[in-house]
Chain A
Amino acid sequence: MQISAKLRIATIAAATTALMSTATLFGANAQETYRIGYAISKTGPGAPGAATSTTPNYEMWVKEINDAGGLKVGGKQIPIEVVEYDDRSSSEEAVRAIERLINQDKVDFILSPWGTGMNLAVAPILDRAGYAHLAGTAVTDKAPQLAKRWKNSYWLLGTGEQYAVEMAEFLKGLKEAGKINDKVAMIAVADGFGIELSKAGRKALEDRDFDLVYDKTYPLGSQDLATIVNEIKSLGADTFVAFSYPPGTLGLTEQSRVLGFNPKIFYAGVGTAFPLYKNRFGDNAQGVVSLGGASEDDPKIADYIARHVAFADREPDRWASIVNWASLQSLQQAIERAGSTDREAINAELAKGGFDTILGTYKPGDQTFWQVGQWQDGKFVGVAPTSMEGAHELVFPKPEWKAAQ
């Protein structure tokens, strides 16, 4: 096949024009700022999660620092400049956006994307380029290995196993106190999170002599779980555990209420700790157990929630948001402690830990937050690990469902 000279020239011209326009868009900024970059799912399946747990915190953090004049670095105040992209919930886009942030925008620090898959996709690139990685929304059983593999990566939410084990341990305490029987009905969403937690939960519960009378998965995106609820209702389990995602979490709660399924322990998954849950179910949220939790009596946490409401017009969720905020506070202190914008100095400070955050003295990656929480009087409070300071007494048994409001 022959290609004419004209066509060839036209192609080259088109490509050059496009490339040049790309290049001019990345003009360097001469003013001294600390450049923070992030690529996050603004569109696609990851968008709702990112807009709940991650983006408002990033934006609020930058605004608060800039309103105060900027980061205090070695006697100077340097404002933060943000470069943000949309990864469109695609790993490939996330990889490309991070390459762009590193090589084109030459940002000083990169904040993590949303979700386990995205964080894993960008982790090797950040590591190679010497950027620290505060993975704020990844739950993976490989977390300890990953932290070793990529020296400057911090897996803030830890492993799925830890939540399941802590829950099983807590249930064991109730069983030994004679409050619940040994029957547990467990369901999980057929997605990475649900599978990982149910796998760990199955083992943890069986190790503690619980009898799993029901153990099934439901497909991602499914909201109508009435058949499952009906089936479980007749099994006589005092404990119901659902490692669910937001649509399923809401569906399960609603259908359990309608069908009058009211086990002594009602544990639902991601979404329970969202403010949305309380808004939707009101008093019926009382007594529902889930993962996460917040010490809302702690003035620091209460203040954070109030500021979040003022900034974003909604409450933060009581799990990932809080951990993310603690990591952002840590980052700010690491930069100020390093006294320079040198990346290695900041990475070294981050590794030292000892930051004063809403989670107390904190080092990114510490799992010093609530693993089991419960809605009590409109607050999602921490109940386990029971050894933690400020652990609330469990509301037990779960109160009867009230009629819909």
Chain B
Amino acid sequence: MSILKPDFIKPVGLGAVIFAALAFLPNFVDNYYMSLAISVVSFAVLATAWSMFSGPTRYISLATVVFFGIGAYTVAVLGEHMAFPLVLICAALAGTVIAVLVGFSTLRLAGVYFVIFTFGLTELVRQVVSWYEVNVTREMGRYVFLDITQNDIYWQLLALFAILLLTGFILARSRLGFALRIIGEDETVAKHCGIDVTRVKVALFVLSAVFMTLTGAIMAPRWTYIDPVIAFNPMLSFQVVIMALLGGPRRLLGPLLGVIPLTLLFEVLTASFPNHFSILLGCVFMVIVYLLPGGVIGLYEKYRAPKKRTLSPPDGNNTTPKSEEKAA
């Protein structure tokens, strides 16, 4: 791994400066823009974490909200009994355990079976939690009374996003990242290269799940009250997939390019057309699918591709044109 080379230090340094600057955002804007910023950063974490696994492996996972909800529930259960950082650690552990179980039992599935399984998993986990609450605790909703302000939530999410980007960045340069790219290109070839395909996929799935779980845990104090319907709302999984696909899941910063415009679009639509939100959203999605099939990053690569060939050698993260076709 090329830790101290300039091509590592420069982007990481730039990232650190940007994140440090973003940390001062609460000094300049009011609570409304902070809540918008929380929305952007939380979706940025979720979409980037989703792409970290789904980008290279091309498994479309609809289980985002499973981990998000597990994180939220961990806070609801433990929040008043231990310090918040400890709760976050417990949430990460819970997410890891579930992700390992789910990963080993399902990542041998391929294509649409995996999509359906992950969608079903949401319902399964929701019903299990409901069953437990109904029959064991006999209390359906849980209350989260923690003195965590909106700004605290924003800073935590920002830190989580920074860690996620750094992880993704290092991963792309590691043996694991290389193995993943081979799996993404051709799983059979990867097996012949001696890569333990399932183990690599599970490792990535777990890593991605931990970030989703932590997002849920950080967001939970914002809602005061949590029940299974609120915590495991499947809409969230779909939103994350749409955002990641719009941006482009195969590049580290790709999902961000989907998250920012879509979060702002949701906001404009909600604020200006409260009665026509769903219709307009549907229209917008159709426009996106027809006009931008490769996502924002696809547009950028299409536009930039000819220039790159003549001017500079491709950098390490660029995928070959062949793989782009396959992705499209």
The 4 closest A-B pairs by CB, nearest first: A103-B32, A120-B225, A18-B264, A192-B140
Task: Give 18 pairs: A residue, B residue, CB < 8 Å, sorted on A.
Answer: A1-B317, A4-B300, A11-B260, A18-B261, A18-B268, A21-B268, A42-B274, A95-B223, A99-B31, A99-B34, A102-B32, A103-B32, A121-B222, A190-B130, A191-B140, A191-B227, A192-B140, A194-B140
Inside 8 A of A399's CB, which chain B residues have their CB? none
Q: Is B124 an interface residue (CB 8 A)?
A: no
Q: Is B257 an interface residue (CB 8 A)?
A: yes
Docked-complex contact A96 and B253, CB < 8 angstroms: no
Partner of A117, one of B145, B227, B235, B271: B227
Docked-complex contact B31 and A14, CB < 8 angstroms: no
Among B262-318, those with CB < 8 Å from A are 264-265, 267-268, 270-272, 274-275, 277-278, 300, 304, 315, 317
Contact segment of A86-94, A206-214, A305-313 = A86-94
Residue from the set B30, B224, B272 with the largest chain A CB neighbour count within 10 Å:
B224
Assembly CA distance A104 to B29 (angstroms): 11
Question: Shortest beta-carbon distance, B284 to chain A, in Å?
Answer: 12
Assembly CA distance A123 to B139 (angstroms): 21
Given A2-B315, A14-B260, A103-B30, are A97 and B270 neighbors across the interface (CB < 8 Å)? yes
| Chain B interface residue bracket vs A | 35 or more
Per-position binary interface string of chain A over residues 116-129, scored 1 when its CB falls under 8 Å from any chain B CB and 0 otherwise:
11001101100000
Inside 8 A of A43's CB, which chain B residues have their CB? 277-278
Docked-complex contact A217 and B134, CB < 8 angstroms: yes
Partner of A7, one of B11, B226, B252, B300: B300
Docked-complex contact A1 and B275, CB < 8 angstroms: no
Docked-complex contact B133 and A195, CB < 8 angstroms: yes
* Number of A-B residue pairs at CB separation under 8 A: 138
Question: Shortest beta-carbon distance, B140 to chain A, in Å?
Answer: 4
Per-position binary interface string of chain B over residues 217-259, scored 1 when its CB falls under 8 Å from any chain A CB and 0 otherwise:
0010011111101100101000000000000000111000100
Q: Is A196 an interface residue (CB 8 A)?
A: yes
Docked-complex contact B32 and A121, CB < 8 angstroms: no
Assembly CA distance A261 to B304 (angstroms): 74
Assembly CA distance A45 to B264 (angstroms): 24
Docked-complex contact A22 and B271, CB < 8 angstroms: yes
Assembly CA distance A219 to B123 (angstroms): 13
Per-position binary interface string of chain A over residues 68-84, scored 1 when its CB falls under 8 Å from any chain B CB and 0 otherwise:
00000000000000001
Question: Shortest beta-carbon distance, A29 to chain B, in Å?
Answer: 15
Docked-complex contact A25 and B268, CB < 8 angstroms: yes
Inside 8 A of B134's CB, which chain A residues have their CB? 190, 195, 217
Q: Is B206 an interface residue (CB 8 A)?
A: no
